[in-house]
């Protein structure tokens, strides 16, 4: 009896000691023998505000944006046009703008921001065959040109719906593509609505008022748009605009609808329109398979997932939490054994990426840090869902990257995904400072897009960073079994294939059964659709190079010549050309091939001429 009492007392003492250790912040840390770092200090670069002149060069075949307010959200519009692949120029000179076939006047048209001569020239432009798009047309004697009698401002609109007939004319076939959510249930968005006179209503708000009005002038036309496209894109891209609806496992193409509308307008207005495909090799869509390893069993299970991917001839991205601290979340699993598995995955051709150190639910609220955080002294500790101690944004980025690279000497980590998709406003510049280039931190429903986009400093709309975001479309945890959602996933892929969309898939390898079965069904289905399939780093590098490519087109004699250049080599890039153009491969430089309306540059090039016979 005395012995049993002694055992009970000892157990109680152990429990009390454990409680005191945990509540007091006691930490168990795994130490890689002799390892310390990173040695260097990482510093945030000071922001440099984007300038109109950064986007001011280019020929007359481009779309022109006449900027009437340099303090407006033109950078959001510029990023959107880059994403969809439309060559463009920004200018404050109305005469330079009117040398182009398609002119967007942004963000407003009125006598307060344009001279009488400019307004007169703009009024004549569509009557001479040009296409003029005016955002927030507020007077200046331009109402008749746009077919409206008046405009009024509102702050409560929640949706914009494109008329069925017009949606089809713009290549928008699905119901989800007609409806653009503008705000959440409790908020509204600042817009202008029009009263149509001689114009035709092409889109309306949720209260029935006209959002877009068009008027034809024979070969020319005008569109009055009450939604500030630049502000809308900027707020969505920067995660500063709530929109109603599901955030993941759905087709949410609101931003893509805006961009595809501009793409169609450009192609119809400009006979020399050459645009950039959004998928490597001009394929119909992109599929990026990713896995988050944030649980002890997941790092072991990852090996089987990688085997399936290798058997299918594809590379996936493995976001690995470098968990060397035992805490509320889980036990340690990034140790010698975990690092050995990471090396094995890398050896199988998989991308190894960072999923932070702490995987904290409050990552968005931790301090930035000083860029001097080093292993093993950096010891973030998750005490509960709402309490994480001694963590910083810089520490989570630089220490996790260091630990992955230190165990795989030839590895350079470029991709990051935060735990729980926690998304601090300072993350873009912190990623830049610590050597990353590709982020997958938001859901496509939240971003309202299935295409990548460039991130800004502090997620504001003034200064760019070199970081690109790749939103997640399909994940594995909201509804199980995952295999039940496979038909819906196939439908999403079909929708994306209509315009070169991107599908990032997230599967946690914590179990096999339905998740592995979903992957085994998804890969052959995507291959059957001729999708490009690969990891985030490969696609990100391709996209980063694509984002710098410049295209200018002109007639030379009886031919049409597209001058294409970039500051660094690009490859596997397709250019979409008007129907009826035939590539003169012998006269064109580099290794190029025409596939219908697409011309693919397959070998690395930095400057190339494509010669066509119309």
Q: What is the DSSP string of 126-147?
A: GGGT-EEEEESB--TT-HHHHT
Q: What confidence score (pLDDT) does residue 27 get?
A: 72
Integer Cα distance of 22 and 11 in angstroms: 16
Residue 144, CB half-sphere, CA atoms under 13 Å: how many?
A: 6
Return the bridge partners of 276, or none. 575
What secondary structure letter does DSSP report for 375?
A: B
Residue 134 near residue 142, CB atoms below 8 Å: yes
- pTM for the structure as a whole: 0.94
Return the bridge partners of 612, or none. 560, 583
The fold of the 56-276 domain, in CATH, is Rossmann fold (3.40.50)
CB contact set of 35 (below 8 Å; sequence gap of 6+): 375, 376, 406
CB contact set of 102 (below 8 Å; sequence gap of 6+): 63, 64, 130, 131, 133, 265, 266, 269, 270
Residue 143, number of CB atoms within 10 A of its CB: 21
The fold of the 289-492 domain, in CATH, is TIM Barrel (3.20.20)
Burial class (CB in 10 A: 0-12, 13-18, 19+), 189: buried
- List, for the chain, all residue ranges whose pLDDT scores fall below the cut of 50: 1-2, 7, 9, 13, 16-25
Length of the chain in terms of residues written: 614
Integer Cα distance of 363 and 346 in angstroms: 27
Q: What confidence score (pLDDT) does residue 242 get?
A: 81
Integer Cα distance of 69 and 204 in angstroms: 26
Integer Cα distance of 99 and 136 in angstroms: 22
3-state secondary structure 246-273: CCCCCCCCHHHHHHHHHHHHHHHHCCCC
Integer Cα distance of 506 and 462 in angstroms: 31
Can you give the residue ranges of every domain in the chain?
A: 56-276, 289-492, 548-613
Residue 100 near residue 65, CB atoms below 8 Å: no
Q: What confidence score (pLDDT) does residue 20 get?
A: 40
Q: What confidence score (pLDDT) does residue 17 get?
A: 44
What secondary structure letter does DSSP report for 382?
A: E
Asked whether the domain spanning 548-613 has the same topology as the one spanning 289-492, the reply is no
Integer Cα distance of 68 and 608 in angstroms: 34
Residue 322 near residue 361, CB atoms below 8 Å: no
The fold of the 548-613 domain, in CATH, is Immunoglobulin-like (2.60.40)
Q: What confidence score (pLDDT) does residue 21 get?
A: 43
Using CA atoms, how far residue 199 sits from 163, 179, 227, 268, 494, in Å, is: 14, 21, 17, 19, 35
Q: What confidence score (pLDDT) does residue 71 get?
A: 97
């Amino acid at each position: 009896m005395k012995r049993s009492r002694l055992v009970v007392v000892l157990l109680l003492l152990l429990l009390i000691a454990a409680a005191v250790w945990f509540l007091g912040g006691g930490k168990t840390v795994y130490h890689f023998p002799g390892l310390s770092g990173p040695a260097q200090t990482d510093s945030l670069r000071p922001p440099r505000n984007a300038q109109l002149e950064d986007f001011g060069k280019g020929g007359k075949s481009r779309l022109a944006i006449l900027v009437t307010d340099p303090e407006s959200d033109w950078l959001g519009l510029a990023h959107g046009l880059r994403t969809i692949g439309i060559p463009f120029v920004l200018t404050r000179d109305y005469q330079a703008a009117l040398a182009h076939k398609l002119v967007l006047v942004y963000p407003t048209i009125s006598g307060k921001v344009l001279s009488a001569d400019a307004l007169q020239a703009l009024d004549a432009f569509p009557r001479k065959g040009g296409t003029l798009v005016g955002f927030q047309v507020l007077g200046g004697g331009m109402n008749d040109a746009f077919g409206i009698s008046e405009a009024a401002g509102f702050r409560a609109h929640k949706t914009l719906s494109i008329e069925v007939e017009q949606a089809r004319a713009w290549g928008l076939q699905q119901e989800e593509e007609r409806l653009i959510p503008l705000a959440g249930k409790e908020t509204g968005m600042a817009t202008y609505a029009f009263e149509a006179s001689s114009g035709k209503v092409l889109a309306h708000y949720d209260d029935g008022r006209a959002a877009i009005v068009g008027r034809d002038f024979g070969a020319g036309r005008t569109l009055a748009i009450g939604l500030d496209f630049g502000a809308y894109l900027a707020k969505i891209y920067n995660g500063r605009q709530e929109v109603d609806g599901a955030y993941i496992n759905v087709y949410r193409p609101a931003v893509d609808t805006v961009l595809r509308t501009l793409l169609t307008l450009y192609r119809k207005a400009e006979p020399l329109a050459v645009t950039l495909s959004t998928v490597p090799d001009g394929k119909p869509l992109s599929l990026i398979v990713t896995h988050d390893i944030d649980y002890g069993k997941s790092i072991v299970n990852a090996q089987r997932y990688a085997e399936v991917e290798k058997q299918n001839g594809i590379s996936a991205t493995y976001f690995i939490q470098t968990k060397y601290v035992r805490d509320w979340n889980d036990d340690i699993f990034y140790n010698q054994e975990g690092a050995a598995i990471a090396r094995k995955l890398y050896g199988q051709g998989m991308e190894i990426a960072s999923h932070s150190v702490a995987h904290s639910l409050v990552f968005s609220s931790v301090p930035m840090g000083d860029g001097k955080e080093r292993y093993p002294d950096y010891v973030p500790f998750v005490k509960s869902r709402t309490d994480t101690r001694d963590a910083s944004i810089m520490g989570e980025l630089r220490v996790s990257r260091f630990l992955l690279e230190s165990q795989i000497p030839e590895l350079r980590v470029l991709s990051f995904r935060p735990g729980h998709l926690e998304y601090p406003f300072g993350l873009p510049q912190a990623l830049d400072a610590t050597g990353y280039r590709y982020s997958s931190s938001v859901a496509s429903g939240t971003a309202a897009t299935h295409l990548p986009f460039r991130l800004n400093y502090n997620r504001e709309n003034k200064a760019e960073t070199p970081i690109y975001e790749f939103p997640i479309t399909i994940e594995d945890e909201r509804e199980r079994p995952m295999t039940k959602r496979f038909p819906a996933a196939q439908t999403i892929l079909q929708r994306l294939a209509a315009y070169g969309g991107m599908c990032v898939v997230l599967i946690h390898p914590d179990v096999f059964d339905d998740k592995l079965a979903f992957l085994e069904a998804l890969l052959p289905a995507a291959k059957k659709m001729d999708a490009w399939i690969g990891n985030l780093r490969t696609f990100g590098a391709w996209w980063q190079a694509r984002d710098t490519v410049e295209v200018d087109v002109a007639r030379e004699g009886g031919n049409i010549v597209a001058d294409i250049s970039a500051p660094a080599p690009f490859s596997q890039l397709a250019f979409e050309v008007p129907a009826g153009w035939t590539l003169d491969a012998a006269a064109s430089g580099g290794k190029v091939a025409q596939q219908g309306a697409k011309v693919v540059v397959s070998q690395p090039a930095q400057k190339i001429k494509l010669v066509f016979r119309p």
